[in-house]
Structure 1
Amino acid sequence: MTRTTPARPVPAEAVFPELAAHRGRTTRLHPRPGRPGVRDSHVGGPMLWPYDEPWPACHEAHERRDSGYPPDEIRRARAAGEFPRSRPWPGEGAPGEGGPVPFVGLAQLFRRDVPRLAAGPGGADLVQIFRCPYSHGPSLARRYHLRWRRAAEAERAGRFLDAAPEVPVLPWEHELPEPCALHPEDVDTYPWAEDDTLPAPLIARIDAWDDAQAAEHGPDALSYQGDLSIPPGWRVGGFPSWASTGPMSVGCGSCGAEMGLLLTAGGDEADANSHSWVPVEDRGPSLPGKASLRGGVSVVRPTRLRFGRDRDLHVFTCPTDPGHPPQWVLA
């Protein structure tokens, strides 16, 4: 089903004409629960993974776990509209006792579905994203993995992995993605307004406009970051959001080149400050504003994933050589 972002509550360039010189485009992926297949772009669905190719695994030391949520219990609870029950770790070999841990497949994107997706090394047009389900060390750091493929070459494998390997229990319910089909849509976007992301006089005008909106409209006020700048949720290309960290420069660890934003993964597709981005197809026609939202968790948090403390995960790749290691930034 098509997803259509509503027109902005006010046109950004009508309020700030200087933004025209900084306008960009991003592809909103609009994940929604579904039954994607191995040849589909998706979040949380089955990967196009040759049967005889080893599944990626994390071999580092992990934070010790004694209990958690079995993946099948999570699926059962979601189907019933309940929260899963925690279970003790079954048997030996819990994380922290050694042994590899299979990565969880988060998403795969084909360039044929998302033309704005940057090309990978050697003309690769399929990217697959993974995360280790367990944290590492006292800082609770996470490990991610990116795999590039040429789609036509991968599809000639003939036989594909029926089911990805899973750990017996996950530390949290939000480590298991809900299988979601994608509904890509290109929209205009503008840079985050902080530090030197835009000219200083323009940022000052944006800040003053935000303050005036808040003074006049209170909690229902519009804001540049929430309503005019960058849409929430999963998206490809465009500008990174910096709500938690503030803007930062991301350089390639191999050659030093400034890296480009490949994609952003977000836990929420909308929140109290960004509900104006919810597609028209997910709204009721008789109610205004956020009261018009319908679909519940399948619209607001369809993938069920979380990144950090409800932050955005930005995946940066090297424009000089996309085969260089990516950078993963929580912001």
Structure 2
Amino acid sequence: MRTPALPADALAALPGLAAFGRTATRLHPRPGTVTAQDSHVGGPLRWPADEPWPLCEHPHMVNEEVPLPQELLDRLAAAQRGRTQHNIITDEEAVLHEELATLVGPGFAGWGSMGGPTMGFRYVPRPHANPMLAVAQLRAANVPDLPTPGGADLLQVLWCPFEHAQDDEGVWGPTMRLVWRREADVTGPLATAPDSAVGDDGYVPAPCRLHPEQIVEYPYPQELPEPLQDQAKNWPGDYVTMFMAPGWKVGGYAKWQLTDLRPTPCRVCAGPTRLLLVIDSGESNATARWRPVEEAGADPGTLGYDADEPTGVVVGRWGALRVFVCPTCPGAPFRLDQQ
């Protein structure tokens, strides 16, 4: 698949930006039949038969419903009617929100109705050793920007498809495992992976073939030198939409639109890490800038799939999970960030 070319005048309007261009490989996952020999999303892994399948032993979070007294809900409704501005809660509402949170208990996640009575929601940890789920398999032969630490030419990505409170990363979502290996070393591949219990269907990717495409993208404005930062802010258009690729990708730059730029230092050497992989809920951000030429203007009914959400994966509130690795410490634990 091919991304539309960057408009010729875009870089000309930002003198000096071209020097910061970095390649990334857009993976372009699209539903299709895959095998353990392919690069893919959501398919079988080329896994050694004599190697134990990884388990997640981190307590996963389960959503529980808690009945709420009608008297409390009536008081809350009355307080809401007392607003002078529809989008600003009253002091009485704030107190009632705290009362609701106390009633629902630790892990409080709000309240609402799923077609029945209004209930309180909380996430509680449940210990359970769960076989991890295959998310992606990437071959260096297919993905130009994939690192090859120690001569590895295959990256396998797995996660536990439940919510987890990962306090050390500030990330709420699936626990993840990265496995680097040399394809030539896998001589007796596993026939079938064990079944994984699933807590969130948005963490179960549909089998997708990849259509890798190497592109050039540019840093998030806060990563640029100050003079270029100012130029990016004053650029007549949406800088991030124009210069930074959305969707599943390997390499390139990370966006920081929710938190602003924050460090992701290596856990071993404390040096800077680099973006390895982005697992995104959407592929084009609904803009023509990043929609593949082959799908531009196509009727979704003729494609047979949702071109912007082909994998079915939903991270957070339709965000992206980003994986960072240290280029000088191949064995160091990776870092996660969600935006």
Q: With structure 2 as the length reference, what TM-score do the two structures score?
A: 0.75
1:59 aligned partner: 57
Match of 1:279 among 274, 288, 292: 292
* Bigger Rg over Cα: 2
2:144 aligned partner: 115
SS at match of 1:128: strand
Matched letter for residue 206 of structure 2: E
1:209 aligned partner: 235
1:186 aligned partner: 214
What are the equivalent positions in structure 2 for 1:116-155 lying under 5 Å apart?
116-120=145-149, 122-137=150-165, 140-154=172-186
SS at match of 1:201: helix
What are the equivalent positions in structure 2 for 1:162-181 lying under 5 Å apart?
162-167=192-197, 170-181=198-209
- Structure 1 unaligned runs (5+)? 68-94, 211-221, 286-290
1-structure distance, mates of 2:312, 2:300: 22
2-structure distance, mates of 1:208, 1:65: 44
Figure out how many residues of one structure are paired with residues of the other and give that number. Answer: 277
Matched letter for residue 204 of structure 1: D
2-structure distance, mates of 1:138, 1:114: 29
After the TM superposition, which of the residue ranges 309-318 and 96-105 deviates more from structure 2?
A: 96-105
Shift of 1:117: 0.6
Shift of 1:96: 5.1
Cα distance 1:310–1:54, how it changes in 2: closer, same or farther (>3 A)?
same
Show structure 1 runs of 4+ deviating over 6 A: 291-294
Q: Deviations over 1:259-301 (max 9, x none)?
A: 12112111100224x432111101138xxxxx99974753100
Q: Deviations over 1:198-248 (max 9, x none)?
A: 1222222222224xxxxxxxxxxx411112x11110111111111222112
Matched letter for residue 6 of structure 1: P
Shift of 1:165: 1.8
SS at match of 1:39: coil
Q: Quick check: 1:102–1:165 contact (8 Å CA) kept in 2?
A: yes
Match of 1:160 among 190, 193, 202: 190
1:92 aligned partner: none
2-structure distance, mates of 1:292, 1:49: 35
2-structure distance, mates of 1:323, 1:275: 39
2-structure distance, mates of 1:257, 1:294: 48
Residues 1:243 and 2:257 are matched in the alignment = yes
SS at match of 2:47: coil
1-structure distance, mates of 2:173, 2:272: 24
Q: Quick check: 2:31–2:305 contact (8 Å CA) kept in 1?
A: no
Comparing both structures, which one devotes a greater share of its residues to strand?
2
Q: Quick check: 2:158–2:178 contact (8 Å CA) kept in 1?
A: yes
Shift of 1:10: 4.9
Matched letter for residue 292 of structure 2: P
Matched letter for residue 200 of structure 1: E
2-structure distance, mates of 1:118, 1:138: 26
SS at match of 2:45: coil
Cα distance 1:225–1:46, how it changes in 2: closer, same or farther (>3 A)?
same
Q: Quick check: 2:264–2:273 contact (8 Å CA) kept in 1?
A: yes
Shift of 1:11: 3.8
What are the equivalent positions in structure 2 for 1:4-15 lying under 5 Å apart?
4-15=2-13
Matched letter for residue 315 of structure 1: V
Q: What CA RMSD, in Å, does the superposition of the two structures yield over aligned residues?
A: 2.5
User: Percent same amino acid among aligned pairs?
Assistant: 38
2-structure distance, mates of 1:311, 1:205: 27
Cα distance 1:137–1:112, how it changes in 2: closer, same or farther (>3 A)?
closer
1:47 aligned partner: 45
